[in-house]
Structure 1
Amino acid sequence: MGAEFLPKPSENDLSGDYQAAPVILGLLPAALVDHIATVDLSILSRIPGEPGGSFPVAAEELKDLLKEVNTHISSSPNDLSPVKTIAGGSVTNTIRGLAAGFGISCGVIGACGDDEQGALFLKNMSFYGVNISRLRVKDEHTGQCVCLVDPLGNRTMRPCIATAAKIQAGELKREDFKGSKWLVVRYSIYNIEVINAAIQIAKQEGLLISLDLASFEMVRKFRTPLLELLESGNIDLCFANEDEAAELLSGEQVAGPEAAVDVLGKYCQWAVVTLGPHGCIARHKKEVVKVPAIGQTKAIDATGAGDLFAGGFLYGLVKGMSLEECCVIGSCSGGSVIRSLGGEVSPENWQWMYKQFKTKGLPVPIVSLPTYTRIYLIIDTQGDT
């Protein structure tokens, strides 16, 4: 059998209180709900910002964008999928993946609104066993993000968070972090105050910090504050994709992924640059490894690929695996999410990932998943389909 499953204390418990100290925490200053749709390139040319990146939009822009996407989908029924709405955001994808596919106890710190979108977010995260007891529910709107997936599987993000329910730096408590091992953070200049406060408290409680560089647009426009954050010495692990790495090295004489991990390695214990279909390069102290992508396949949607890679890599670190093994697990995990739409991995794609583990001689995680998922996977592994 490919995976062993352990029951939760209660399958219907949505409080997330059954684990006092999750191993890995995710910082969600403003929880997001993703609206994901496949679109053609014509829409991307008509929206603000560059295709392929992530850049905030105002509430009216979000509404107009969703309206245009829905209109375009309804007028092109033959080749475009409906909009899919799920709990979203980079940190959410990483934390949900770690809980659902790897069996790591995870929780989130942050805020969401007391609205329909907030309820959807809470239900989705609780469904996968993520501890939500540190998530503040406020009498405001929940953040939303439109994720546009082009015919090549690339995604363009347009989040609306300016008026969303947010946790403030002063609301963070040491009890939120006590007993945990890792804090997962996504770089954003718009949340820099709460990010810095969370990192400071987490460090006081002995947590390690994982930072994702978010998007090439964010790095380009706010490179100086990012460098200050890295130079603080508080970041233990940093993830960047090729575009983000290029922006980080902007103006440097030597560029490229190898140069990027060397630069990040000056500030962090672990540095990783993901290379899309070409795998990744990673550094830990003086050790550098380059690992190819696992299970080459055409990407249906690249949304969440880096987030799930980060989750797999973190799983490897938590389990004390080598740098190369962490990269292989990350590559398998990232490969699992690009096989369908959105940043939520389906049961059959987790199963695909577990089979890659067995092929590579890696142990399959012991996980606790929702009942229907657990039954599906047990049948599938026993049938070896």
Structure 2
Amino acid sequence: MAEAKYDVLTIGNAITDILARVEEDFITSEKLDKGIMHLIEGERSEHLYALMPEDKQQISGGSAANTAAGVASLGGNAAFVGKVAEDEVGEFYANDLREAGVDYTTRMLEHGAGSGRSMILITPDGERTMNTYLGACHDLTEADILEDQIGSAAITFMEGYLWDPPEAKRAFVKAAHFAHKHERAAAITLSDPFCVNRFRDEFLDLLRSQTCDYVFANVEELKALYQTDNLHDAVQAVAQDAEVAAITMGADGAMAIANGEVITVPAFKVDKVEDATGAGDLFASGFLFGLARNQTMEEALKLGCLSASEVISHVGARPLKNLRALALTHGLAV
């Protein structure tokens, strides 16, 4: 088997996060429910975007893209597959993700929905009111899945958030097929208990059919997958269904289940959790990078926990410190 060009290739929603500080009356006048995430349509998206202050901050985002950026920060080779439109937001997204060190070549959508964006309005009390337009994200198709690209990645990783449009489902199954054809691994993250409750049977089938080799979840997602309140029972069940399961446990660290063995590591100490956004995404960065580089489960778990600890120590879902340098200071192999 040829050496992998990429350590990790991720597939997911390509969403530009647009953050701006606004006054309370902005929330009121736009009839928004403060502190809530609203799914909005294109016209509403354009309306809010036009009203946002000029000093707004933008960053290429989406769960799987954050994971790819984390792999790059660890010194790995990362690629991302996700759909944006041929518009101003899409051009920004592509350039910003590439600047983060991620190979991004997915063909832009020329006609149809605009690029996905999440407009995050921050009021003086620190509350975040999110307005998310998925747009072009849902136009990812099988045509965007390239065998040569998938076959050159040690691990292909998909976010559960994308498991909704029928075309996107077919795209990921095709990606998993290409990965296995080239003797590579395919992985999925369950993303959210809401996703699990909607697609439980399909997620279980992905594991039991060995379409996906690895699964990522937090404790609540795993318990939702097996419809149990008992973590031990859920761990026993996933051990039967997945080659590798990686479970994040917040302040209690993380565990991996593989070959009938359960390995746990503690969390890295964080003085203050500033923003938990992206913790799971960055845990996946470290763990996947470790697996791609043939580390032990324990070593990969530690890299995952360290990466997560960095991202929760500040606002934003991307690391501010170089993760490779941070890992070396903690004596971890990268």
Scaled by the length of structure 2, what TM-score is found?
A: 0.82
Shift of residue 285, structure 1, vs aligned partner:
1.4
Instruction: Judge which range, 170-179 or 312-321, deviates more.
Output: 170-179
Q: How far apart in 2 are the matches of 1:337 and 1:167?
A: 28
Question: Structure 2 matches for 1:168-247, cutoff 5 A?
Answer: 168-187=141-160, 188-190=163-165, 191-247=168-224
Shift of residue 93, structure 1, vs aligned partner:
0.4
Distance 1:56 1:192, change over 3 A: farther
Q: How far apart in 2 are the matches of 1:153 and 1:186?
A: 28
Q: Quick check: 1:269 aligned with 2:222?
A: no
Aligned position for 2:263 = 289
Does the residue aligned with 1:201 lie in a helix, a strand or coil? helix
Question: Structure 2 matches for 1:25-64, cutoff 5 A?
Answer: 25-28=9-12, 30-36=13-19, 47=33, 56-60=39-43, 62=45
Aligned position for 1:112 = 84
Q: How far apart in 2 are the matches of 1:150 and 1:263?
A: 43
Distance 1:40 1:247, change over 3 A: farther
Return the letter of the residue paired with 1:85: Q
Give ranges in structure 1 of 5+ residues lacking alignment.
Answer: 1-18, 75-81, 366-385
CA contact (8 A) 1:36 1:341 kept: no
Shift of residue 334, structure 1, vs aligned partner:
0.6
CA contact (8 A) 1:311 1:333 kept: yes
Aligned position for 1:344 = 318
Aligned position for 1:77 = none
CA contact (8 A) 2:270 2:313 kept: no
Scaled by the length of structure 1, what TM-score is found?
A: 0.72
CA contact (8 A) 2:64 2:159 kept: yes
Shift of residue 320, structure 1, vs aligned partner:
1.9
Shift of residue 56, structure 1, vs aligned partner:
4.5
Q: How far apart in 1 are the matches of 2:84 and 2:258?
A: 36
Shift of residue 298, structure 1, vs aligned partner:
1.9
Aligned position for 2:75 = 103
Shift of residue 109, structure 1, vs aligned partner:
2.6
Give ranges in structure 2 of 5+ residues lacking alignment.
Answer: none
Q: How far apart in 2 are the matches of 1:152 and 1:335?
A: 25
Aligned position for 1:136 = 107
Shift of residue 125, structure 1, vs aligned partner:
1.7
Distance 1:216 1:98, change over 3 A: same
Return the letter of the residue paired with 2:5: A
Return the letter of the residue paired with 1:333: S
Q: How far apart in 1 are the matches of 2:20 and 2:143?
A: 37
RMSD (Å), alpha carbons: 3.5
Shift of residue 330, structure 1, vs aligned partner:
0.5
Q: How far apart in 2 are the matches of 1:283 and 1:149?
A: 39
Q: How far apart in 2 are the matches of 1:88 and 1:176?
A: 21
Name which of 230, 234, 249 aligns with 2:226: 249
Name which of 329, 332, 339 aligns with 2:303: 329
CA contact (8 A) 2:187 2:213 kept: yes
Distance 1:25 1:164, change over 3 A: closer
Shift of residue 173, structure 1, vs aligned partner:
3.0
Q: How far apart in 2 are the matches of 1:309 and 1:39?
A: 31
Question: Structure 2 matches for 1:314-325, cutoff 5 A?
Answer: 314-325=288-299
Q: How far apart in 1 are the matches of 2:193 and 2:125?
A: 19
CA contact (8 A) 1:301 1:338 kept: yes
Shift of residue 215, structure 1, vs aligned partner:
1.2
Does the residue aligned with 1:199 lie in a helix, a strand or coil? helix
CA contact (8 A) 2:217 2:248 kept: yes
CA contact (8 A) 1:153 1:300 kept: no
Distance 1:285 1:47, change over 3 A: farther
Shift of residue 112, structure 1, vs aligned partner:
1.8
> Identity, % of aligned pairs?
26
Q: Per-residue CA shift, 1:133-161, capped at 9, x if unaligned?
A: 3x112214211124578999998865422
Q: How far apart in 2 are the matches of 1:225 and 1:154?
A: 35
Q: Per-residue CA shift, 1:73-129, capped at 9, x if unaligned?
A: x9xxxxxxx753210001100111111x21111112333211111111111121132
Shift of residue 232, structure 1, vs aligned partner:
1.6
Q: Per-residue CA shift, 1:325-376, capped at 9, x if unaligned?
A: 2111110001111122222211xx336x7446433x323x3xxxxxxxxxxx
Aligned position for 1:370 = none
Does the residue aligned with 1:206 lie in a helix, a strand or coil? coil
Q: Quick check: 1:362 aligned with 2:303?
A: no
